[in-house]
Amino acid sequence: MSQGVGSSRDLPIDNRDASGVHLAMEYLTKSTQSLLDTGSADNSDLSAKGKNVIVIGGGDTGTDCIGTALRQGARSIVNFELMGKPPEIRAENNPWPLWPLIYRMDYGHTEAEKVFGEDPRQYHLMTKSFIKDESGKVTGLNTVNVGFKNGQLIEQINSERIWDTQLVLLSMGFVSPEHYLSNDANIMLDERGNYQANYGEYTTSQDGIFAAGDCRRGQSLVVWAINEGRGVASKVNEYLL
């Protein structure tokens, strides 16, 4: 099996149960399904049309949320980042050949800047709680500015702020693959919740079942999925012969 990492990291803070707070993949999946089924954007309560949208977390998934919300006609979009703004050039502690941790504008950021006049990202922000109305719908959220000292996250005094929003999308990465397959097949997991299988061998704890890709190594790049897909195909061929 080659399965992606599907269990999203959540944000268990006050009023997380508010209507209008969704995991990014829930939002993206439903939006794409609507386009495939009807040829038009999703018009359900999950749609960003006419709403102030806040995307918590970055990465490719967060960028896709920004781009999708733009196409649905969001009134505004803000993207919260816990970390600080990356430097324009490599820092001394980020030498080649490490991946350059520098400031970049992805397609979603560029499009949002064109529409709203500025990069949608706000840095050093931590969400403390969601705000909901009497009907249970999200109407805002509370944040605080943060910094880091000796690797410890420090909240800045008197930096609290309330943001108006009607749709919050949580894009904070993934913790492990979903376990419905491993549970059914009784496959052993590693300490991170991934399917236990060594790189280059790909054999799981169950004879005849192989694992490769994100479900084995954790969230990674498509080039690794291609590499492991080729490797596991070879091992399965050996097994069948």
Give the Cα separation of 141 and 98 in Å (integer): 36
Find all residues with CB under 8 Å of 134, minimum gap 6, and list them.
none
What does the block give as tokens for 109? 């950021």
CB 206 within 8 A of CB 185: yes
Q: What is the pLDDT of residue 1?
A: 47
Weakly modelled stretches of the chain, pLDDT under 70: 1-8, 41-42, 174-176
14 and 81 part of one domain: yes
Q: Does 125 share its domain with 207?
A: no
What pLDDT is recorded for position 7? 63
Same domain (yes/no): 213, 228: yes
CA distances from 37 to 32, 33, 42, 46, 123 (A): 9, 6, 10, 16, 37
pLDDT of residue 214: 85
Express each pLDDT in 35-54 by its tens digit.
Answer: 888 777 667 778 999 999 99
Q: What is the pLDDT of residue 41?
A: 67
Residue with tokens 């939002």: 27
Distance CA 217, CA 228 (A): 10
Residue range of the domain that includes 112: 7-174
Joined tokens for residue 22: 């969704």
Same domain, 225 and 106: no
Which residue, 126, 145, 174, sits at the end of a domain? Answer: 174
Determine, yes or no, domain membership for 2. Answer: no
Share the mean pLDDT of the chain: 90
Count of alpha carbons within 13 Å of 162, Cβ hemisphere only? 8
User: In this structure, are 21 and 98 located in the same domain?
Assistant: yes
- Domain tally for the chain? 2
Quick one: pLDDT at residue 3? 47
pLDDT of res. 174: 67
